[in-house]
Amino acid sequence: MKIKANTNFTGVDDYLFSHINNKVNEYLKDHKDAKIIRLGIGDVTKPLPKIVVDAMIKAANEMGVENTFRGYPPEHGYTFLKEAIRDYYKNFKVDLDLDTIFVSDGAKSDLGNILDILGDNKAYIPNPVYPVYLESNEMSGRTIEYVYGNEENHFVPLPSDSMSTGIIYLCSPNNPTGSVYSYEGLTKWVEFARKTGSLIIFDAAYEAFIVGDYPHSIYEIEGAKECAIEICSFSKQAGFTGVRCGYSIVPKELDANGYSLYKLWKRRQATKFNGVSYITQRAAEAALSEEGIKACQENIKYYRRNALLIKEVLDKKNIWHTGGDNSPYIWLKCPNNMKSWDFFDYLLDKANIVGTPGEGFGTSGTYFFRLTAFGSYENTIEACKRLEELL
């Protein structure tokens, strides 16, 4: 065909986790009996709480009966779910305008699609970080600058004088490093964004793992509604990776050179999205009920116990690491100055453990490695045994 493709895709690497999957499958071809333990992809393993399953069954039954059947959902989410999200934010002393909550099929979709409403701005992307920020900016041909995390700043980098106006991505608790911004740290970012007229895109997908005194939402910081969009997900909070539900908060205060980002996102979603399944939204509502939050937190506690087990081994072996306390991720420095893909192969081959090479999240991860606490308790214990022997 003579029609033009989007040539910006040329520079985009393979999707990290597809690449890892292919590598593991290759390995398995030659090692059919290997008892692989997967601590790689950040996917949950605990089943959904009963209250969530019950809500889905009730909703599914309603869809089978004439007078309770529901057709097109509101593009921006049912009010019952938006109210539940608004109430959840009251836990953090954040007041949300219902209109500004946009329910979606997940944070990944929103993180990719949000760029539709923005012009050609520079993007400031943490390095290392969740690859979707980088890739979606590459796909749209935007200029990218990195904000580097490292051992010195404990992978919670702050704004520097060399930065100017742009789209600033923040992820806290961070994927992959598990590090969390303090109130002071986030305040510096909000002040910087307001001074430079920048927009912060705050990814709060892991907020439910926070146990310490850290902000769960960027809107806990004064002035953030004038400079930040928050994107969140039920995936990690409620184990919804297979159910697909997330939301974005786009405050009415966000004025981009005379354009209301709230209005643009509302308009974007009306044309390019058609809302989330009624059944899914009822499930999300149940996950945010008092009983639901309690049940979800039980699962998170289970994962936290795994994280602490892994940290214990690393401590014993004097391996530098961060995360795990307020996050399902443990970010460790590869032993013996190994590079992360080498360590990936080493760990896969010698211990049959699949982790995620730090370099997959950016150059700053070249000598680092991510392990997740999402395995089963039994597998995590076994993995720790193997790590203890190997390292």
List binders of a second copy among 157-186 (CB under 8 A).
165-167
Q: Is 105 in the site for a second copy (CB under 8 A)?
A: yes
Give the number of residues written for the chain: 391
Q: Is 23 in the site for a second copy (CB under 8 A)?
A: no
Q: Is 120 in the site for a second copy (CB under 8 A)?
A: yes
Q: What is the DSSP letter of 222?
A: T
Match 């990195």 to its residue by tokens: 146
Question: Which residues, numbered 65-84, are part of the site for a second copy (CB under 8 A)?
Answer: 65-66, 68-73
Which residue, 166 or 333, is less far from a second copy as judged by CB? 166
Which positions ≥6 away from 110 have C-beta within 8 Å?
102, 104, 231, 246, 247, 248
Q: Is 112 in the site for a second copy (CB under 8 A)?
A: yes
Which residue, 72 or 336, is less far from a second copy as judged by CB? 72
Question: Which residues, numbered 270-289, are part of the site for a second copy (CB under 8 A)?
Answer: 270-280
Which of 332, 328, 361, 335 has the alpha carbon at shortest distance from 350?
Answer: 335
**For helices 290-316 and 377-390, what crossing angle results, to 10°?**
10
Burial class (CB in 10 A: 0-12, 13-18, 19+), 44: buried
In whole angstroms, how close is the CB of 218 to a second copy at the nearest point?
A: 15
- Which of these segments, 25-33, 38-46, 173-181, 353-361, binds a second copy (CB under 8 A)? 38-46
Q: What is the DSSP letter of 65?
A: S
Q: Is 4 in the site for a second copy (CB under 8 A)?
A: yes
Which of 70, 112, 84 has the alpha carbon at shortest distance from 272?
Answer: 112
In whole angstroms, how close is the CB of 78 to a second copy at the nearest point?
A: 10
Q: What is the DSSP letter of 216?
A: S
Q: Is 227 in the site for a second copy (CB under 8 A)?
A: yes
Residue choice 85, 96, 117, 284 for contact with a second copy (CB under 8 A): 117
Which residue, 9 or 183, is less far from a second copy as judged by CB? 9
Residue choice 26, 99, 151, 226 for contact with a second copy (CB under 8 A): 226
Is the distance from CB of 133 to CB of 123 less than 8 angstroms? Answer: yes
In whole angstroms, how close is the CB of 241 to a second copy at the nearest point?
A: 4
Q: Is 6 in the site for a second copy (CB under 8 A)?
A: yes
Q: Is 241 in the site for a second copy (CB under 8 A)?
A: yes
Q: Is 256 in the site for a second copy (CB under 8 A)?
A: yes
By CB under 8 A, how many residues form the interface with a second copy? 89
In whole angstroms, how close is the CB of 123 to a second copy at the nearest point?
A: 10
Q: Is 64 in the site for a second copy (CB under 8 A)?
A: yes
Q: Is 7 in the site for a second copy (CB under 8 A)?
A: yes
Which residue, 13 or 87, is less far from a second copy as judged by CB? 13
Which residue, 280 or 364, is less far from a second copy as judged by CB? 280
Q: Is 257 in the site for a second copy (CB under 8 A)?
A: yes
Q: Is 45 in the site for a second copy (CB under 8 A)?
A: yes
- Kind and range of the H or E run holding 145: strand 144-148
Burial class (CB in 10 A: 0-12, 13-18, 19+), 7: exposed
Q: Is 98 in the site for a second copy (CB under 8 A)?
A: no
Which positions ≥6 away from 197 have C-beta within 8 Å?
165
In whole angstroms, how close is the CB of 367 to a second copy at the nearest point?
A: 25
Which residue, 165 or 297, is less far from a second copy as judged by CB? 165
Compute the distance between CA of residue 262 and CA of residue 249 in angstroms, rounded to an integer: 9
Question: Which residues, numbered 302-331, are part of the site for a second copy (CB under 8 A)?
Answer: none
Q: Is 255 in the site for a second copy (CB under 8 A)?
A: yes
Question: Which residues, numbered 181-210, are part of the site for a second copy (CB under 8 A)?
Answer: 193, 196-199
Residue choice 34, 60, 98, 390 for contact with a second copy (CB under 8 A): 60
Compute the distance between CA of residue 140 and CA of residue 138 in angstroms, rounded to an integer: 5
User: What are the φ and ψ backbone dihedral angles of 288, each rounded to 5 degrees?
Assistant: -95, 0
Q: What is the DSSP letter of 101?
A: E
**CA dihedral over 16, 19, 23, 28, signed as positive or negative:** positive
- Tokens representing 200 are 């912060």
Residue choice 152, 160, 242, 336 for contact with a second copy (CB under 8 A): 242
Is the distance from CB of 323 to CB of 177 less than 8 angstroms? Answer: yes
Compute the distance between CA of residue 83 and CA of residue 308 in angstroms, rounded to an integer: 35
